[in-house]
Amino acid sequence: MAKSLLRLEALKLRKKGISVGKIASYLKVSKSSASYWTRDIILEIEQLEKLRKSMLKGAALGRFRGSQIQKQRRLKRIERSKTEGIKALCKLKQREFLIAGLALYWGEGSKKSQDVEFCNSDPKMIQFLLLWLQKCFNIPITDIRCNVGINEIHYRREQIVREYWSKVTGIPLTQFRKTNFKKVKNKKVYENFNEHYGTLSISVIKPSRFYFKIMGLIEGLYEAGSGLVSRGVS
């Protein structure tokens, strides 16, 4: 809790153009921690000039500007990688989509209770696996049930959270089960409390129709991977 609060305070101070050194001193944390927390914030030219007048001179200013340029390059590299990744995989074939979904379900889905169910907080992963169930196993949306899980401190936001996940999935609220409010001490401080939506569990009714088929395909995926390893394929 303390570290989360300090991190949020560090972000606020950095956005105001406060130097990393002063942030570290004010929050009584190491300079490396303050720098790590605020590493993605790009300062405006006016803020840089203000820092220059207050604390930076000569070579120090050059190094500081250099670090800002490096940050900008890193962020551009991230965006470029996203664009290249989308271009490389934008046209998945049915078999490739099946395998990708199997790998995700293998890591995130239920495998012991004979239920076809997975839970995650990432809306993109939820959408991907939901589409996988529909396209690869012909499971109609009417056979899907949803269950929201969220800390009880969000009790007053229940309807907003449920509507958010209904919009993400395209599944009507009538197919949502009772919200699971987690009665645990909240150790995480969210920068924006009102943009936290917990997790969503997606489950299939009468799952035995699909459970054993999915498990069999996962076993096939494992055997195929093991075969590559045994043959020394890199």
- Which residues does 231 contact at the CB level (< 8 Å), separation at least 6? none
Task: Check if the beta carbon of residue 201 is closer than 8 Å to that of residue 119.
Answer: yes
pLDDT in tens, 196-219: 899 999 999 999 889 999 999 999
The neighbour count for residue 222, using CB atoms within 10 Å, is 12
Of 102-106, 122-126, 219-223, 230-234, which range is least confident?
230-234
Q: What is the pLDDT of residue 215?
A: 95
Considering only residues 170 and 74, tell me which one the structure prediction assigns the higher pLDDT: 170
Q: What is the pLDDT of residue 1?
A: 43
Q: What is the pLDDT of residue 11?
A: 83
Task: Check if the beta carbon of residue 20 is closer than 8 Å to that of residue 41.
Answer: no
Task: Check if the beta carbon of residue 58 is closer than 8 Å to that of residue 52.
Answer: no
Q: Tokens 């120090």 belong to which residue?
A: 60
pLDDT in tens, 14-60: 888 777 888 888 888 888 888 888 887 777 666 666 666 665 555 56
Question: Residue 190: which pLDDT band, with cuts at 50, 70 and 90?
Answer: low
Of 17-21, 32-36, 91-95, 221-225, which range is least confident?
17-21
Considering only residues 10 and 118, tell me which one the structure prediction assigns the higher pLDDT: 118
Q: Tokens 């012991």 belong to which residue?
A: 112
Residue 202: enclosing H or E segment and its boundaries? strand 199-204
pLDDT in tens, 121-174: 999 999 999 999 999 999 999 999 999 999 998 999 999 999 999 999 999 999
Rounded average pLDDT over 219-233: 75
Q: Alpha helix locations (H) across the chain?
A: 2-15, 20-27, 31-37, 45-54, 59-89, 94-108, 123-137, 158-169, 208-230
Question: Residue 81: which pLDDT band, with cuts at 50, 70 and 90?
Answer: very high
| Among 161, 143, 155, CA closest to 200 | 161
Q: What is the pLDDT of residue 39?
A: 80
Q: What is the pLDDT of residue 34?
A: 84
Q: What is the pLDDT of residue 231?
A: 58
- Which residues does 145 contact at the CB level (< 8 Å), separation at least 6? 175, 176, 177, 202, 203, 204, 205
What pTM was estimated for this model as a whole? 0.68
CA atoms within 13 A on the CB side of 206: 5
